[in-house]
Chain A
């Protein structure tokens, strides 16, 4: 049922495309760096509810920007099905005798890897700029959260890609889904600062738990326990990927 070769070759294709698209690598890494640089300089200190002292904004921002990058690159990764449809390659994939679930898994493998590469790159640069990762354990846990965030939003991208016929709806998704998810997640300001009604909405945003988890393991600041964030992320990632795979299976490729 699940073809490992198919998953591997879909992953390999994604890697080759990623490494050949220099501008894409630059673009996806440059934006978070601008955010880090300007927001980091602009805020300096940030008051986090529950913490007695103000914390260095850089410490607060790095996990948030990391989450942002994972959100964007993974959702686009899911939406890349639309590019394949536009350029016809989706038909080549869909007419092949491999189970649809293998195709979804191949795409996820590729999407997670590219998102992870970008994420680690941002972490690396942040370290150079003075961000201290506590231990290898916290780096390992951060990677787990990064994978979970990536899987969840690849699923989201797949859902949209399956429901849209062409690139027309792309900016809609961008403006009305990705940006709200980003701002609601607490990536650049604490969710606790929101008015209470907005806080409820923020709690429906998978990225909230992802960013909080990353902040917990990387910076030691979090609203919820790391375990709670982890459980929420596992659940949400599973739901999203299941829905993504379901809609992808249902959609017609021509």
Chain B
């Protein structure tokens, strides 16, 4: 059985399309990622699948239940870790877990055992009697992951599970997620705008931009689309002739130039480098530095959208800032 089936799912907020006609399936036990910049529609997708938002059109099932007709069945089958913390900070860690277990109808004896299990899983057993307001960001995140697991959901949604966490905590949480997926057969859907996170964790990834899926596949498959390796040449001098020549070569798949750098994608990069340097020398271009790397998901995103996720984030903050300015201006 498919853990999730989504067909032409769309969400419209007063004329603004947040999720635009997406279709995908997720197999049971899979670790599926939604990768994209902020505002791509990832969270809106999760909110619709977890019954918190009504869809505008299309259809979706989670664990075999329709997301608009069998809401309670969907709710019983899922665990959700939201992007923003959703803990009661005036309760202790344990009390938050008890609240959750009781809301999910778990009996007293079961409750004790399960809370102990999940607290151990996320290393919070010692802090169980501390008010959550005293927890660090990483501890809150771990507590939320623990909470999402208590009722043994078939499908676990993780919305930006490592947002705003330091590198070490992020690493820990990645390990938890991997182990969890391996040891229990819970299906995990996670959203992220960190390429390396999606790459490290997910068996399949959907790249999302402006409400649409632009690509879907395993990380290695997505990267193979680019065709081989990425070679960056740093050079001195005018490279116009060289670029013209390179553009005519069939084995160079893509070529972009920016202030003294040439980025090429081609197969068997390590074998082509001498050839590239020869070409440069013949055209009076001095190559000062060569870099060869395997394509990242960032390159894939660039390939499909013409922008990098980082640029997208930057322009997003820019937009927010200008929006703030105009708002404040009006108030004055």
Task: Give me the interface of A with B, judged by CB distance under 8 Å.
Answer: 3, 5-6, 8-9, 12-13, 16-17, 20-21, 87-99, 252-254
Whether B87 contacts A89 by the Cβ 8 Å rule is: yes
Max chain B Cβ within 10 angstroms of own Cβ: one of A17, A20, A87, A97: A97
A139 CB to nearest B CB, Å: 32
A160 CB to nearest B CB, Å: 21
Cβ–Cβ < 8 Å partners of B51 in chain A? 95
Q: Which of B54, B75, B78, B104 contacts A252 (CB 8 A)?
A: B54
Q: Which of B54, B80, B90 contacts A16 (CB 8 A)?
A: B90
Cβ–Cβ < 8 Å partners of A90 in chain B? 86
Whether A88 contacts B90 by the Cβ 8 Å rule is: no
Q: How many residues of B contact A (CB 8 A)?
A: 30
Task: Give me the interface of B with A, judged by CB distance under 8 Å.
Answer: 47, 50-54, 72-73, 75-76, 78, 80, 82, 84-91, 95, 98-100, 102-105, 147
CA distance A93 to B88 in the complex (A): 11
Closest residue of chain A to B82, judged by CB?
A: A91
Closest residue of chain A to B107, judged by CB?
A: A5
Q: With A88-B85, A89-B86 as given contacts, are A253 and B103 in contact (CB-CB < 8 Å)?
A: no
Q: With A21-B90, A88-B82 as given contacts, are A252 and B53 in contact (CB-CB < 8 Å)?
A: yes
A96 CB to nearest B CB, Å: 4
B164 CB to nearest A CB, Å: 14
> 21 pairs across A/B with beta carbons < 8 Å?
A3-B105, A5-B102, A8-B102, A13-B91, A13-B95, A16-B95, A17-B90, A17-B91, A87-B88, A88-B82, A90-B86, A91-B82, A94-B52, A95-B50, A95-B51, A95-B52, A95-B80, A96-B104, A97-B72, A99-B72, A252-B52
Cβ–Cβ < 8 Å partners of A95 in chain B? 50-52, 75, 78, 80
Closest residue of chain A to B76, judged by CB?
A: A97
Q: With A5-B102, A6-B102, A96-B103 as given contacts, are A88 and B52 in contact (CB-CB < 8 Å)?
A: no
Closest residue of chain A to B103, judged by CB?
A: A96
Cβ–Cβ < 8 Å partners of A12 in chain B? 99
CA distance A89 to B143 in the complex (A): 14
CA distance A91 to B148 in the complex (A): 13
Whether B105 contacts A5 by the Cβ 8 Å rule is: yes
7 interchain residue pairs of minimum CB distance: A97-B75, A88-B86, A9-B102, A96-B103, A97-B76, A92-B86, A88-B84
CA distance A252 to B44 in the complex (A): 12
Cβ–Cβ < 8 Å partners of B103 in chain A? 5-6, 9, 93, 96-98
CA distance A254 to B43 in the complex (A): 10
A18 CB to nearest B CB, Å: 10
Cβ–Cβ < 8 Å partners of A21 in chain B? 90
CA distance A193 to B187 in the complex (A): 68
Secondary structure at the A interface, as helix, strand, loop or mixed, is: helix
B73 CB to nearest A CB, Å: 8
Closest residue of chain B to A17, judged by CB?
A: B90
A186 CB to nearest B CB, Å: 36
Q: Which of A3, A17, A96, A254 contacts B53 (CB 8 A)?
A: A254
Knowing that A13-B88, A21-B90, A88-B87 touch, tell me 6 more A-B residue pairs with CB under 8 angstroms: A5-B103, A13-B95, A17-B90, A92-B87, A93-B103, A254-B52
Whether B80 contacts A89 by the Cβ 8 Å rule is: no
CA distance A252 to B47 in the complex (A): 10
Closest residue of chain B to A5, judged by CB?
A: B102
Cβ–Cβ < 8 Å partners of A92 in chain B? 82, 86-88, 100, 147
Q: Which of B75, B87, B99 contacts A9 (CB 8 A)?
A: B99
Whether A17 contacts B99 by the Cβ 8 Å rule is: no
Cβ–Cβ < 8 Å partners of A98 in chain B? 103
Closest residue of chain A to B157, judged by CB?
A: A95
Q: Which of A6, A16, A20, A91 contacts B52 (CB 8 A)?
A: A91
Whether A97 contacts B104 by the Cβ 8 Å rule is: yes
Whether B86 contacts A91 by the Cβ 8 Å rule is: yes
CA distance A95 to B51 in the complex (A): 7
CA distance A6 to B105 in the complex (A): 8
B116 CB to nearest A CB, Å: 19
Cβ–Cβ < 8 Å partners of A96 in chain B? 75, 100, 103-104
Whether A87 contacts B89 by the Cβ 8 Å rule is: yes
Max chain A Cβ within 10 angstroms of own Cβ: one of B73, B75, B86: B86
CA distance A93 to B104 in the complex (A): 10
CA distance A252 to B80 in the complex (A): 17
Closest residue of chain A to B90, judged by CB?
A: A17
Max chain B Cβ within 10 angstroms of own Cβ: one of A3, A13, A21, A252: A13
CA distance A99 to B51 in the complex (A): 13
Q: Which of B90, B102, B105 contacts A20 (CB 8 A)?
A: B90
A136 CB to nearest B CB, Å: 35
CA distance A13 to B86 in the complex (A): 15
Cβ–Cβ < 8 Å partners of B72 in chain A? 97, 99
Closest residue of chain B to A93, judged by CB?
A: B103
Cβ–Cβ < 8 Å partners of A254 in chain B? 47, 52-53
Max chain B Cβ within 10 angstroms of own Cβ: one of A6, A12, A88, A95: A95
CA distance A99 to B104 in the complex (A): 11
CA distance A89 to B96 in the complex (A): 10
Max chain A Cβ within 10 angstroms of own Cβ: one of B47, B50, B102: B102
CA distance A92 to B89 in the complex (A): 13
Cβ–Cβ < 8 Å partners of B91 in chain A? 13, 16-17
Cβ–Cβ < 8 Å partners of B98 in chain A? 9
B288 CB to nearest A CB, Å: 51
